[in-house]
Structure 1
Amino acid sequence: MREADTGTGTGQAPRAVVIGGGIAGLAAAHRLLGTGAHVTVLEASGRLGGKLRAGEIAGVRVDLGAESMLARRPEAVALAREVGLADRLQPPSTATASLWTRGALRPMPKGHVMGVPGTAAALSGVLSDEGLARIERDRDLPATEFGDDVAVGAYVAERLGREVVDRLVEPLLGGVYAGDAYRISMRSAVPQLFEAARAHRSLTEAVRAIQERAAQSRQTGPVFMGIEGGIGTLPLAVADSIRARGGEILLDSPAHELRRTPDGWQVRADDRIIEADAVVLAVPAQKAAWLLDTESPAAAAELRAVEYASMALITLAFRRGEANLPEGSGFLVPPVDGHTIKASTFASHKWGWIAAEDPDLVVVRTSVGRHRDEKDLARDDDGLVAVSRHDLREATGLTAEPVATRVTRWHEGLPQYPVGHHARVARIRGHVAKVPGLAVCGAAYDGVGIPACIASAYAAVDQLGGDLTGLDELTAHPVQSLHGGAGE
């Protein structure tokens, strides 16, 4: 089947193709419809949502991917409201997490920025006496000479000692990126800390300055937000909105070729050729590189350098009467302690809607796998369940037999942000900008969180500018177009 109408010079609506049906691609399509374009979304798999995936265990709805979204950024919550999910938004029932370290579950220290403390207070038990004393020496060290970027772990270890990195920073960053803190870019992964550290003589002073600004801003409301039924329902609701507004979504339709023509673009998806005025690539870096080999080989080369980490989520359901879990939302695990799991979420504690669906069940999640440390992922599903149960027993004393288990594997699921990532992204976007009617978005660029992915989608559409009729009016009012709509 051949779609020949581009809208160029015909008086018809301009056409846009979004390649990728994850939350970034769907957000881009949703925004493109506001420009008056005809939009087609191509998704290679048989489902939408990417790393956002709703599922069930023992009859209870759960997330099998990301389970919460940052609420202090507006994009994700605003989009959820716009697509009709306002009455299903729910904050965590509890946000009290622990660290499983030095043989015990210990309260997660407060007053830190991604694990970096502003003081040694309240860290006893997590750090040794030597580690506590090392933090106090930060104020006596000479100011660090900053370059264009620095690894989070390397910089924090230099200022506060390796214990802070190994027992505080690593478990937090590992939970977000499944990566190695000693390689992760501070500028890209923790930009607020990067800017503050450049402006202050000591790191602890920089952390305290961030905390003081946060207190002065008087931000209220929850830091994170969930959705009744799971975060995985967000992309499905966005897709429903796209279809209701006339957009087209094609599943099991991988894009095989992307080619510039005198009138715009041709996208080949199996035996179908779709002609378009603009294309948004919302796929992982390696897929984007493959599609751009001909039209932007320089961008393709940069995209191929982006590495990914694989991981697995193990979801277990227990009878409530047999599962005496500690209070709180779960715990993080420093890799230095040598355990297999890197985190556990007590989902029935954390999300009231999960507990309400079956009060007789307790749902627990664990995660396994880090960048360049993925040997445990070679285990079969039963093996991953077994190591998860072993670590849960060691950490919490949980000995009950689960009534159901699910293992969800995310192969190359999380892009890594090494030192210099921001510069690579700038080069990619520079090369892409030279090609008319082309934009990229997704987790590989400006953040792996849901709001960051949505923001990158909006920026990609805005970048197309005059390539689509009606876009100039939309981008002239960015605050309204980003945050307006139903529910606001």
Structure 2
Amino acid sequence: MEGNRCHVVVVGGGIAGLAAAWYLRQGGEGVRVTVLDGARRIGGKLLATEVAGVPVDAGAEAMLARRPEGRELARMVGLGDELRHPGATQAAVLTRGALRPMPKGHVMGVPSDLTSLARSGVLSPGGLARVPLDQILPATLIDTDVSVAAYIRARMGGEVVERLIEPLLGGVYAGQADRLSLEATMPRIAIAARSERSLLAAAREIIAEAPKDAGPVFTTLRQGMGALPEAVAAASGAEIRTGVMVREMHRAERGWRLVTGPVPEPEVIEADAVIVAVPGPSASRLLAAEVPQAAAELARIDYASMAIVTLAYPREAFPEPPVGSGYLVPPVDGRPIKAATFSSVKWPHLAEADPNLILLRCSIGRLGEEAVLQRDDAELVALAMAEMVEVMGVRGLPRDSRVTRWGGSLPQYDVGHLDRVARIRAAVASQPGLALCGAAYDGIGIPACVSTARTAAARILDHLDPTEEWQKRADSLTS
């Protein structure tokens, strides 16, 4: 503590750590915040750089609009006028040798409309015939967490899992339905699974209960989601230090002692409180000495790697302009590209930036498919180009390309994830002046990360001064 000011260190300069810094500063002038990040830049998986002269996201390209935390943060840091909504939302599935429309009325791939499912052609005749058996089969009630695949396969058959669930979950988590937790990744379906006999009926109820005027599902920023970290950092008033790797964390007489820098010349930073906002493996290493129970649980969270290839083609390279937001590819079809997004169709502001370009991005890599990511950048670009030639009939070369690799970037919410997070939080709760936030806990999207940051900041503010005035400030962050 310096004078009357408390010093809080946030370890990690991704959107969760930066949001935590911003929320901490809402506690008043009595808090000094330092953000430490081992990378050369802030922002984590949020990054926008130019492709053919147009700023295009290299990481997450959007955030859920129907969950408020991300939009609210953008507005509070001065980006409210920069929010943009998609112009095209209908996606397709590239499967069984053709692009097929994603069936209407689904819940994360779980169909509710058998007519739309049949018309889409995503499933084979045999796979389609299996789905309505869900309505007459005995109940598959569950009283513990199970994998997404185990429950949905039992109700609707393997093809729904392989050709609808897998590509959607692969797009979000780059994971495998046989491992991913039903409770953590599809909570609405998990609730139904504890009480409903028919999954089809449950999906119909979920669709019917959804607000009809909820607005767009996703939103982004005109300059890309990569603009958000810089704006949050500037608004936070925190001291931002990049290229600073925290190697150790220990309890001190008052607060915490962090060790940074090279081993021969360590730098010690004293803090009254710490928020750890780094991925699970790094958090595990930092907590190993003082919170070994949490460290052990964090070490068990797997992470998937992926790469994004962004291409900029002249408009005339496409025999027919792309329609829809893009397409997903089921792993069962054995293609290296797991998804393609027609960025300048999905986001009209990108088309306005250069009407003569078609910008698109191809996602490569799922858990267990690390071999394809061993190829060099030129080979990944060649894969994406070949995909566009085969699927879209593209002629000629792109004007520009970019490869962005995200190694170990997507936490896997395997079966038992919610219980693991509860154990982590219980262990951390015993340590005054310590909090965690980030994608490893309650969701990997931007709004979920911001929510964990807000909760972590409130915990720290309450610890620093549990007086009535500060308690009101802390409570205001979580209300």
Fold match, TM over 0.5? yes
SS in 2 for 1:106: strand
Instruction: Indicate yes or no: 2:309 matched with 1:326.
Output: no
Structure 1 equivalent of residue 374 of structure 2: 378
Contact 1:335 1:342 (8 Å CA) reproduced: yes
Q: Which moved more, 1:117-126 or 1:28-37?
A: 117-126
Matched letter for residue 286 of structure 1:
P
Please give the alpha-carbon distance, in whole angstroms, between the structure 1 residues aligned to 2:188 and 2:250: 39
Q: Which moved more, 1:418-427 or 1:112-121?
A: 112-121
Query: Which of the residues 135, 146, 149 maps onto 1:150?
Result: 146
Please give the alpha-carbon distance, in whole angstroms, between the structure 1 residues aligned to 2:158 and 2:103: 17
Contact 1:196 1:209 (8 Å CA) reproduced: no
Contact 1:16 1:278 (8 Å CA) reproduced: yes
Contact 2:162 2:332 (8 Å CA) reproduced: yes
Matched letter for residue 206 of structure 2:
I
**What's the CA shift string for 1:427-466, capped at 9, x where partnerless?**
1111111111101111111110110111111111223353
Matched letter for residue 282 of structure 2:
K
Matched letter for residue 459 of structure 1:
T
Contact 2:19 2:232 (8 Å CA) reproduced: yes
**What's the CA shift string for 1:339-375, capped at 9, x where partnerless?**
1100001111111221111111111100100001221
Instruction: Indicate yes or no: 2:304 matched with 1:309.
Output: yes
Contact 2:305 2:410 (8 Å CA) reproduced: yes
Please give the alpha-carbon distance, in whole angstroms, between the structure 2 residues aligned to 1:433 and 1:480: 20
Matched letter for residue 329 of structure 1:
S
Please give the alpha-carbon distance, in whole angstroms, between the structure 2 residues aligned to 1:472 and 1:114: 44
Structure 1 equivalent of residue 25 of structure 2: 33
Structure 1 equivalent of residue 64 of structure 2: 70
Structure 2 equivalent of residue 204 of structure 1: 200
Matched letter for residue 370 of structure 1:
R
Please give the alpha-carbon distance, in whole angstroms, between the structure 1 residues aligned to 2:370 and 2:20: 32
Residues 80 and 161 of structure 1: CA distance in aligned 2, closer, same or farther (over 3 Å): same
Structure 1 equivalent of residue 16 of structure 2: 24
Please give the alpha-carbon distance, in whole angstroms, between the structure 2 residues aligned to 1:241 and 1:373: 40
Please give the alpha-carbon distance, in whole angstroms, between the structure 1 residues aligned to 2:390 and 2:478: 46
Query: Which of the residues 295, 298, 302 maps onto 2:290?
Result: 295
Structure 2 equivalent of residue 342 of structure 1: 338
Contact 1:42 1:255 (8 Å CA) reproduced: yes
CA drift at 1:480 = 5.2
Please give the alpha-carbon distance, in whole angstroms, between the structure 2 residues aligned to 1:256 and 1:482: 31
SS in 2 for 1:411: strand
Query: Which of the residues 211, 216, 220 maps onto 1:226?
Result: 220
Instruction: Indicate yes or no: 2:389 matched with 1:397.
Output: no
CA drift at 1:173 = 0.5
Structure 1 equivalent of residue 251 of structure 2: 260
Please give the alpha-carbon distance, in whole angstroms, between the structure 2 residues aligned to 1:273 and 1:466: 25
Contact 1:465 1:472 (8 Å CA) reproduced: no
Q: 1:133-282 to 2 correspondence within 5 Å?
A: 133-214=129-210, 217-243=211-237, 247-270=238-261, 271-282=266-277
SS in 2 for 1:142: coil
Structure 2 equivalent of residue 426 of structure 1: 422
CA drift at 1:473 = 4.6
CA drift at 1:470 = 6.6
Matched letter for residue 259 of structure 2:
R
Matched letter for residue 280 of structure 1:
I
Instruction: Indicate yes or no: 2:104 matched with 1:104.
Output: no
Matched letter for residue 352 of structure 1:
P
Structure 2 equivalent of residue 15 of structure 1: 7
**TM-score normalised by length of structure 1:** 0.93
Q: Where in structure 2 are there 5+ consecutive unaligned residues?
A: none
Please give the alpha-carbon distance, in whole angstroms, between the structure 2 residues aligned to 1:421 and 1:262: 34
Contact 1:35 1:471 (8 Å CA) reproduced: no
Please give the alpha-carbon distance, in whole angstroms, between the structure 2 residues aligned to 1:472 and 1:177: 41
**What's the CA shift string for 1:225-272, capped at 9, x where partnerless?**
0100101101111011113xxx21111111122111111111122243
**What's the CA shift string for 1:162-214, capped at 9, x where partnerless?**
00011101110100000001110010011121112222111111111111111
Matched letter for residue 327 of structure 2:
F
Please give the alpha-carbon distance, in whole angstroms, between the structure 2 residues aligned to 1:478 and 1:274: 25
Query: Which of the residues 441, 444, 451 maps onto 1:455?
Result: 451
Matched letter for residue 23 of structure 1:
I
Contact 2:458 2:474 (8 Å CA) reproduced: no
Contact 1:278 1:464 (8 Å CA) reproduced: yes
Please give the alpha-carbon distance, in whole angstroms, between the structure 1 residues aligned to 2:461 and 2:183: 28
Contact 2:9 2:273 (8 Å CA) reproduced: yes
Structure 1 equivalent of residue 54 of structure 2: 60
Please give the alpha-carbon distance, in whole angstroms, between the structure 2 residues aligned to 1:316 and 1:87: 28
Query: Which of the residues 9, 21, 37 maps onto 1:43?
Result: 37
Please give the alpha-carbon distance, in whole angstroms, between the structure 2 residues aligned to 1:67 and 1:176: 12
Please give the alpha-carbon distance, in whole angstroms, between the structure 2 residues aligned to 1:471 and 1:151: 45
Structure 2 equivalent of residue 441 of structure 1: 437
**What's the CA shift string for 1:272-316, capped at 9, x where partnerless?**
322111100000101111111111111111111110000000001
SS in 1 for 2:128: helix
Please give the alpha-carbon distance, in whole angstroms, between the structure 2 residues aligned to 1:400 and 1:120: 41
Matched letter for residue 35 of structure 1:
G
Aligned Cα RMSD in Å?
1.6
**TM-score normalised by length of structure 2:** 0.95
Matched letter for residue 205 of structure 1:
A
CA drift at 1:42 = 0.3
Q: Which moved more, 1:222-231 or 1:324-333?
A: 324-333
CA drift at 1:101 = 1.2
Please give the alpha-carbon distance, in whole angstroms, between the structure 2 residues aligned to 1:449 and 1:111: 22
Residues 185 and 164 of structure 1: CA distance in aligned 2, closer, same or farther (over 3 Å): same
Please give the alpha-carbon distance, in whole angstroms, between the structure 2 residues aligned to 1:369 and 1:307: 15
Contact 2:309 2:380 (8 Å CA) reproduced: yes
